[in-house]
Amino acid sequence: MNATTKRHFKSGAVAVALLLLASACAPYQLQKAGTNISVGSEIKVDSTIDWNKSKLDAIEYWTADGPDLNILMFMTDIKKKQKLKRVSRPVVNQQAPEEPESKEEIESLTEFDPDMTPIEIIEYVADFIERSFKMQVDVGTIEPHQFADTAGVRFQFDFVQDNGLMGHGVGAGATIEEKLQMIFFMGVEPYYYENYEASVEALLNSVKRDS
């Protein structure tokens, strides 16, 4: 395949993907590369690349190739006692969307507590990812991470989706002003994580307080 057909192929695929997305979920906005982009009320980030921006329930996310292939989620301003309910993800592979959690299930979800240790924060977020995206999450490295002006935490994970697709994820966050700010990115193998790894890394290191 020469460079031109490759480009055509790619833009065609993107067009189809966008078409599918347009009919399935919230409309997309272009999120241009830039600096000091506010996410939530407490933080801002820099992005070296353009993204498509949308929401899953109330959670802002950016994606490059569609939320099933890669997704950058901004879980900002999570307050004390907040529970992370499953997000209603778009219809994928003709699978019916997940039913909302029952009252009892919501009852038993962990509440956010500003006193959570970094390990507990990762458990809280990883369980949410597992529930929402119907996949098995295997948390790898958990390490200290300077997040804006706060001592935060960074984690990596692998996942396997119901449909057999595997991938990787990385995230970082901290509790700022009693509220959890967590950004994570995940993408399926082979390209959809690796292609954006450097950009996401730069973004996670660019977090600043929004004041």
Q: Does 111 bind another protein (CB under 8 A)?
A: yes
Q: 118, 152 in Cβ contact below 8 A?
A: yes
Q: Does 102 bind another protein (CB under 8 A)?
A: yes
Identify the CA nearest to 73 among candidates 189, 180, 176: 180
Residues 53, 131, 168, 179: which binds another protein (CB under 8 A)?
Answer: 131
Separation of alpha carbons 203 and 200, rounded Å:
5
Q: Does 108 bind another protein (CB under 8 A)?
A: yes
The minimum distance between CB 6 and another protein, in angstroms, equals 28
Residues 69, 73, 137, 203: which binds another protein (CB under 8 A)?
Answer: 137
- Which secondary structure element, helix H or strand E, spans residue 77, and what is its range? strand 70-78
Stretch that binds another protein, among 11-19, 21-29, 58-66, 134-142 (CB under 8 A): 134-142
Separation of alpha carbons 42 and 74, rounded Å:
12
The minimum distance between CB 123 and another protein, in angstroms, equals 6
Closer residue to another protein in complex, CB, 37/68: 68
Q: Which long-range contacts (CB under 8 A, 24 or more apart) does 44-52 make?
A: 44/207, 44/208, 44/209, 44/210, 45/183, 45/203, 45/206, 45/207, 45/208, 46/202, 46/203, 46/206, 47/199, 47/203, 47/206, 48/199, 48/202, 48/203, 49/196, 49/199, 52/18, 52/21, 52/28
Q: Does 27 bind another protein (CB under 8 A)?
A: no
Q: Does 24 bind another protein (CB under 8 A)?
A: no
Q: Does 26 bind another protein (CB under 8 A)?
A: no
The minimum distance between CB 144 and another protein, in angstroms, equals 5
The binding site for another protein (CB under 8 A) comprises 94-96, 102, 104-105, 108-111, 113, 115, 117-120, 123, 126-127, 130-131, 135-137, 139-144, 153, 160-166
